[in-house]
Structure 1
Amino acid sequence: MAIRLIVKEPDEVLHKRAKEVTKMTPNVQKLMTDMAETMYDADGVGLAAPQVGILKRIIVVDVGDENGLIAMVNPEIIEKNGEQFGVEGCLSIPGLNGDVRRAMNVTVKGLNREGEEFTVQASGLLARAFQHEIDHLDGVLFTDIAESVYEPIRDNAAKE
């Protein structure tokens, strides 16, 4: 278990399509654990393997709801509907936010740590996080699809 270095834009790995995981191995399981630790250490709500320099189709998501940590191999959105429009940021693009239009509800299918298939039905922030992380697996960053990109307003008084 280790905290990994988060790759930052404009690193080429962030713009490449990740490869499917064909076999669940101890190395894949360790990567999933490391990714979760890295995400929590960086105060993120999601992380994709390309963000730690690994071109594999693996994501971890935890938006702080009752679902807790969801680690998924070869995730695929199999259904989506509705629409939400909101602010996104990214651990690989510090200092920028963007307004991004996403589906409000998604059903995501993938494999768990043991290689067993499962599905998650997500809405709101969890749906947004899944879509954001799965985009990473296809080399798409939120800045590629945002309707506007900007530096967030920082409230120094709130930090005191």
Structure 2
Amino acid sequence: MRRRSATPVGMRERRMRTDDGTDAAREHTMKATTAVLLVALATGAGLARADDATPVRVPVDADGVQRVAIVGGSYFFRPKHVIVRAQLPVELTVSAEQGIVPHSFEIDAPQAGIAIHTELSTTPKTFRFTPTQPGRFAYYCTHRLLFFSSHRERGMEGVLDVEAAP
């Protein structure tokens, strides 16, 4: 008795060998898998960058102070968006990642009781202020190299959102 194949006649897989003896179907599968992995990695990297923009709501510590650290680096601040409450003291610590390009940190909102102008270094610097009114205030790097775009124009900017006191 003859066994029947589960694959209909004419639909059987045909293996083709390339000149160097490799299996063409296997080679095609490997290329397709590599392409899918590259797309997945690129998508994951995009999601990781999106997380950098997630607002950070600063909690109020037991002593009534809101403490937050911001790190600057190659044309970025992390976190990029910080939320604090008005009428409560804020302790802001700023520093720079290791690198050769100098950066600064500036937030100029004297109308809200916030004014910080400092050069960043790997040694953290802490500033204390109490925001007096709600609003949205930019923090940024003021540096610029000759005729190039400023660091702020290259994306080294963030937002301090001050919400009204409850």
- Bin the TM-score by the shorter chain: under 0.3
Greater RCO structure (CA 8 Å; 6+ sep): 1
State TM-score, norm by structure 1: 0.25
Specify the structure having the higher radius of gyration (Cα): 2
